[in-house]
């Protein structure tokens, strides 16, 4: 995880959106960060320090004049890998832009050389005021990262621009700040989820794929600078800066891939595409009283094989092999038959692996190379391992050295 061990000072200022800092804090800690919360006096009108202290890595700090720490702002500023202010009120933004140090948070902002990210939250009239616009412009010019507020419901029932960005969006922005941009400008297409093949107007043939691994790969590629298109059969909320194409059947996924694939630099087929579909689909709901229907199946299009046959020079094609037996043999045959550059094999019968789980364990196979195993980890970490390998493959095609993997896979015995 890119945030593991990162020391993040989480500044919380006095706005109604302060309650969202609790979720931001929890997500950062879950991602491995060491979170040091700093609250302004105004923030304490909206959020109790006990709540944030319980979830953070250290107790909340509020006092510039701490008897046990004579210069707390200097220590916080010098030790931070990032200072994140969420929410950032108009007052804090103004103080930071003009260099006005009045409390622990504003002093810390001025006493650091670490990156700073501010997440504004205020009423629309305040967000659009020329003074706030100028201050935000000044901060951006100085290199401060700004996560713009969203349109939505505000305090008092108003609706408009100024709502604090969603916690998942803020945490994604933080993760991207620490992620190497080794896919800048690369066009990546990822598929996710299991296709659903209709039997009648209400029933389908499907599989257990949740789409979690494919979505994690799409996020990992986007975090590293890629322009990502996700072709998915499952809902994918919170995917910012990723183009989402929703499909349901294998035929629809094939059509979407035929449109996306020619311009892609990298294709990752993580979706579980049904191998068969009913040859005849009833246009109404079949009734139980009529007895069990005879369902004749026919093969679905082999999307991955088609992509392998049509693969342009330089394109990286990645497939998945979800198996329950003979994992490496089946994956190796698929690697060769589909003309893949990489196949990600997993034993979906193993505990905690594959469909529906938040964790996975995989073996990565490439032509002419020893298989490499990645043990049971969160699917986000598996996604990083896959993208690391993709980056290495792209580097090899241009005869430049690949990056060091964030996860060190062990050779399969």
Annotated catalytic residue, options 107, 135, 207, 360: 207
158 and 199 together in one domain: no
Residue 19 is assigned to a structural domain of this protein = yes
Window from 28-37, 148-157, 379-388 with minimum mean pLDDT? 148-157
On whether both 50 and 27 belong to a single domain, the answer is yes
pLDDT digits (tens, 9 = 90+) for 148-196: 999 888 888 888 899 999 999 999 899 989 988 899 999 999 999 999 9
141 and 212 part of one domain: no
In whole angstroms, give the CA distance from residue 113 to residue 86: 19
Instruction: Answer yes or no: 207 catalytic.
Output: yes
Q: At 398, is the pLDDT very low, low, confident or very high (cuts 50, 70, 90)? A: low
Domain boundary among 122, 150, 177: 177
**What percentage of the chain's residues is helix, strand, coil (to nearest 5)?**
35, 25, 40
Whether residues 139 and 258 share a domain: the answer is no
* 163 within a domain of the structure (yes/no): yes
The answer as to whether 1 is a domain residue is: no
- Structural domain containing residue 109: 7-177
- 77 shares its domain with 195: no
- Is the pTM higher than 0.85? no
293 and 316 co-located in one domain:
yes
User: Within this chain, do residues 168 and 198 fall inside the same structural domain, yes or no?
Assistant: no
CA distance 103 to 123: 23
Whole-number pLDDT of residue 153: 86
Q: Which residues of 228-243 are buried (b: 16+ CB within 10 A; e: fewer)?
A: bbbbbbeebeebeebe
Does 55 lie in the same domain as 149?
yes
Domain shared by 209 and 352, yes or no: yes
User: pLDDT digit string (tens) for 74-98?
Assistant: 999 999 999 999 999 999 999 999 9
- Assess if residue 395 is contained within a domain: yes
Does a structural domain hold residue 182?
no
Predicted confidence (pLDDT) per residue in 321-355, tens digit: 999 999 999 999 999 999 999 999 999 989 989 78
Question: Considering 132, 153, 177, which residue would you say is the last residue of a domain?
Answer: 177
One domain for residues 248 and 292: yes
Of the residues 142, 177, 212, the one at which a domain ends: 177
What is the tally of structural domains in the chain?
2
Instruction: Give the CATH number of the domain where residue 206 resides.
Output: 3.40.50.10300
pLDDT at 204 over 80: yes
In a domain, 400, yes or no: yes
Residue 85 is assigned to a structural domain of this protein: yes
In this structure, which long-range contacts are made by residues 246-255, counting pairs with CB atoms below 8 Å and at least 24 apart in sequence? 247/195, 248/195, 248/196, 249/195, 249/196, 249/197, 249/198, 249/277, 250/195, 250/197, 250/274, 250/277, 250/300, 250/301, 250/303, 251/300, 251/301, 252/195, 253/191, 253/195, 253/303, 254/301, 254/303, 254/306
| Percent of residues, the chain, with pLDDT higher than 70 | 96
Mean pLDDT of 243-267: 97
Kindly state whether residues 147 and 285 are assigned to the same domain. no
Q: Which one has a higher pLDDT value, 67 or 229?
A: 229
What per-residue confidence (pLDDT) applies to 355? 86
Report the DSSP beta bridge partners of residue 277: 298
Do residues 291 and 157 both lie within one domain? Answer: no
Distance CA 197, CA 247 (A): 11
Q: Is 11 part of a structural domain of the chain?
A: yes
What CATH number is associated with residue 49? 3.40.50.1950
């Amino acid at each position: 995880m890119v945030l593991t061990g990162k020391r993040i000072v989480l500044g919380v200022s006095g706005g109604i959106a302060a309650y969202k800092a609790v979720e931001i804090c929890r997500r950062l800690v879950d991602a491995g960060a060491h979170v040091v919360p700093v609250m302004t006096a105004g923030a304490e009108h909206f959020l109790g320090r006990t709540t944030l202290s319980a979830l953070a890595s250290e107790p909340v700090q509020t006092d510039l004049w701490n008897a046990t720490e004579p210069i707390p702002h200097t220590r916080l500023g010098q030790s931070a890998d990032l200072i994140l202010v969420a929410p950032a009120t108009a007052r804090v933004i103004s103080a930071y832009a003009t260099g006005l140090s009045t409390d622990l948070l504003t002093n810390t902002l001025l006493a650091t050389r670490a990156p700073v990210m501010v997440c504004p939250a205020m009423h629309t009239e305040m967000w659009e005021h020329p003074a706030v616009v100028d201050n935000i412009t000044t901060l951006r010019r100085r290199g401060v990262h700004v996560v713009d507020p969203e349109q939505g419901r505000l305090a008092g029932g108003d609706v408009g621009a100024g709502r604090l960005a969603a916690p998942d969006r803020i945490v994604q922005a933080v993760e991207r700040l620490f992620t190497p941009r080794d896919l800048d400008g690369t066009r990546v297409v990822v598929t996710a989820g299991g296709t659903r093949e209709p039997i009648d107007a209400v029933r389908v043939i499907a599989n257990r794929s949740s789409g979690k691994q494919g979505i994690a790969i799409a996020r990992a590629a986007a975090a590293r600078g890629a322009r990502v298109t996700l072709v998915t059969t499952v809902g994918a909320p919170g995917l910012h800066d990723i183009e989402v194409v929703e499909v349901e059947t294998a035929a629809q996924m094939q059509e979407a891939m035929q449109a996306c694939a020619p311009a892609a630099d990298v294709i990752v087929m993580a979706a579980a595409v049904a191998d068969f579909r009913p040859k005849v689909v009833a246009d109404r709901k079949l009734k139980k009283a009529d007895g069990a229907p005879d369902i004749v199946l026919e093969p679905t299009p082999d999307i991955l094989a088609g992509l392998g046959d049509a693969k342009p020079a330089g394109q990286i094609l990645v497939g998945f092999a979800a198996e329950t037996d003979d994992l490496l043999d089946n994956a190796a045959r698929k690697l060769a038959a589909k003309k893949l550059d990489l196949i990600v094999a997993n034993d979906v019968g193993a505990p905690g692996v594959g469909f529906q789980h938040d964790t996975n364990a995989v073996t990565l196979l490439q032509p002419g190379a020893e298989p490499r195993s990645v043990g049971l980890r969160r699917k986000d970490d598996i996604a990083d391992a896959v993208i690391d390998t993709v980056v290495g493959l792209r580097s090899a095609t241009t005869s430049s050295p690949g990056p060091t993997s964030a996860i060190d896979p062990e050779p399969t015995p």
